[in-house]
Amino acid sequence: MNTRAPCATVHSLHYRRRLARDLPKLEETLRAELCSRGLTHARLGGYHVRLDDDEILIEHSSPISPGQLRLPGVEKQVNY
């Protein structure tokens, strides 16, 4: 019997359960930090974070400010 696939599944499930258990603590830390600064939204790293009532919304954000002018000769925006 091949036990490799079930063992990998158990390992993956255990890892994800551990991460899920830490989510409320991480969300509360982020919420407290934004509230202490009087913010309801912020750009953090490559993300736009927004507090919407009790929910924290996270979206990928462009590393370049949308109002930034393009350099002459640059055809396409490059995201890293």
What integer pLDDT is reported at residue 35 of this predicted model?
93
**Tally of CB atoms within 10 A around 36:** 8
Q: How far is Cα 56 from Cα 39, in angstroms, rounded to an integer?
A: 12
Task: Please say whether the beta carbons of 79 and 62 come within 8 A.
Answer: yes
Q: What is the pTM of this model?
A: 0.61
Q: How far is Cα 71 from Cα 28, in angstroms, rounded to an integer?
A: 40
What integer pLDDT is reported at residue 31 of this predicted model?
94
What integer pLDDT is reported at residue 74 of this predicted model?
62
Q: pLDDT tens, position by position, for the chain (80 residues)? A: 578 899 999 999 999 999 999 999 999 999 999 999 999 999 888 899 999 988 999 999 876 666 777 777 765 544 43
List, in sequence order, every residue forming a beta bridge with 58; answer none if it has no partner.
49
What integer pLDDT is reported at residue 21 of this predicted model?
94
Please give the DSSP secondary-structure letter assigned to residue 54: T
Task: Please say whether the beta carbons of 35 and 50 come within 8 A.
Answer: no
